[in-house]
Amino acid sequence: MSNQTVTRADLAEAVYEQVGLSRNESADLVEAVLDEMSDTLAQGEYVKISSFGSFSVRQKGERIGRNPKTGVEVPILPRKVLVFKASHVLKDAINGNS
């Protein structure tokens, strides 16, 4: 297993090679898709990509945590977290069950 990270530039290059748009148009398309996803999630809505998975924002409540070094209890403030749930198609592809 490699530690290769896929970047925005890699996605734009893949669009360029597979779709045939110019490199600038491909980069703009990738940016537009990511911006739309970010804006939708920031509004508290779901993003579902068929055969890939769904993204949602979940509210976590306040809780008491513990500093692992000192053992001192500290409050962890309420916050929003991003959650991704992979589709069965993606899970099967990852596990080689295509």
Q: What is the DSSP string of the chain?
A: ---PPP-HHHHHHHHHHHH---HHHHHHHHHHHHHHHHHHHHTT--EEETTTEEEEEEEE--EEEE-TTT--EEEE--EEEEEEEE-HHHHHHHTT--
pLDDT tens digits along 43-69: 999 999 999 999 999 999 999 999 999
pTM for this one? 0.77
Confidence of residue 97 (pLDDT cuts 50, 70, 90): confident
